[in-house]
Amino acid sequence: MATKKAAENEELEVKAETAQATQPLEETSEKATAKAGKRSAKALKEAEEKADKEERKATGDTTPQQEAEASSKRGPAPKARPHSERKGKAYRAAFKQIEVGKTYSLSDALELAAKTSVGKFDATVELHANLGVDPRQADQNVRATVALPHGTGKTVRIAVFAPSAQHDAAKKAGADIVGEDDFLAQLDKEELNFDVLISTPQMMPKLGKYARLLGPRGLMPNPKSGTITTKVADAVKEAKAGRVEYRIDKQAIVHLGVGKVSFQHKQLLENAQAFIASLNSVKPAAVKGTYLKNLTVSTTMGPGIKVDLAGL
């Protein structure tokens, strides 16, 4: 009897071992974890994440995992082509005439700019001056006017808002629009058929209500630009002759058109020299470092040409 009972026990043990070996791996792993504590599924997952984090920290990999996973899904970052290669055929052909990394004299830059004009129209020759100032500081704001010897090549429409006693003189000087109350009626309709507005000091209070209309467009008269004056006729003549206003933008750059491609080279050079001389004359006293950091010449839609500042 004892032998028979021992045999039965041995058979039961073999069956139990066989059943345990054939259990799914998932059930085995579930039994290895506890409901709570250090052996719970949550605790084991946190331990794995911590170990993975320490491993990445040791190798110097500080990329957030969400960004890394997103990047792996998107694939490698596309290679951006240079700015010149993303332009049209005419622009690329013009760009080949400019030696990359070279700075040109002002005269050569203006001559090359006229040759590399890609527009099928009489393009404007522009100067872009990067200044070493902080536009956010009131004592470093750059704003002035300059009388270009040969004008800008554009037809300037001038409006005069002055008392009736000065209307005839303004018209003789070349003003396109002259008026008083009738001019205000045009502003009420938002009719801005002019490029420059000149006013007398005593008439300025009436323009206050139109500041939001004129200001953003740069049409509000200002004493710094010479558009608030008692000598209206003289201001009209200067504006017609080529007096233009320039001011610094938020990126500390001053942009100004100094003529047209159809201008003679000498005319463009003299206009550019007048602008640079004016720009240097209004250097803020608060600026202690380099004032003129970079100067580029270009045409409308054309490539930029860097100017050698040492030759100015």
CATH number of the domain enclosing 107: 3.30.190.20
Residue 51, token pair as written in the block: 């170990």
Q: Could you tell me the pLDDT band of residue 74, with boundaries at 50, 70 and 90?
A: low
Task: State the pLDDT at residue 18.
Answer: 56
CA distance 179 to 272: 35
pTM for the model stands at 0.65
What SS3 state is found at 88? coil
Residue 59 belongs to domain spanning: 35-75
Task: State the pLDDT at residue 73.
Answer: 60
Task: State the pLDDT at residue 32.
Answer: 59
* Residue pointed to by tokens 């997103």: 70
Which residues in 77-232 belong to E strands, given as ranges? Answer: 124-131, 143-147, 158-161, 177-179, 196-199
Is residue 275's pLDDT more than 90? Answer: yes
Is residue 221's pLDDT more than 80? Answer: yes
Pick the range with the lowest mean pLDDT from 62-76, 212-226, 283-297. 62-76
Query: What percent of the chain clears pLDDT 70, i.e. is strictly above it?
Result: 81
Task: State the pLDDT at residue 63.
Answer: 63
Residue 24 lies in a domain: no
Average pLDDT over residues 47-55: 83
Task: For 101-137, write each residue's pLDDT tens digit.
Answer: 899 999 999 999 999 988 788 999 999 999 999 999 9
Report the domain count for the chain: 3
Residue 5 lies in a domain: no
Does residue 35 or residue 20 have the better pLDDT?
35
Does residue 37 or residue 17 have the better pLDDT?
37
Residue 295 lies in a domain: yes
Residues 117 and 190 in one domain: no
Residue 17 lies in a domain: no
Average pLDDT over residues 263-291: 93
What does pLDDT average to over the chain? 84
Q: Could you tell me the pLDDT band of residue 19, with boundaries at 50, 70 and 90?
A: low
Element (H, E) at 288: none
Average pLDDT over residues 257-281: 95
Q: Could you tell me the pLDDT band of residue 13, with boundaries at 50, 70 and 90?
A: low
Residue 14 lies in a domain: no
Dihedral of CA 204/206/208/214: which sign?
negative
Is residue 205's pLDDT more than 50? Answer: yes
Residues 272 and 149 in one domain: yes
Directed axis angle between helix 106-115 and helix 265-281, to 10°?
Answer: 130
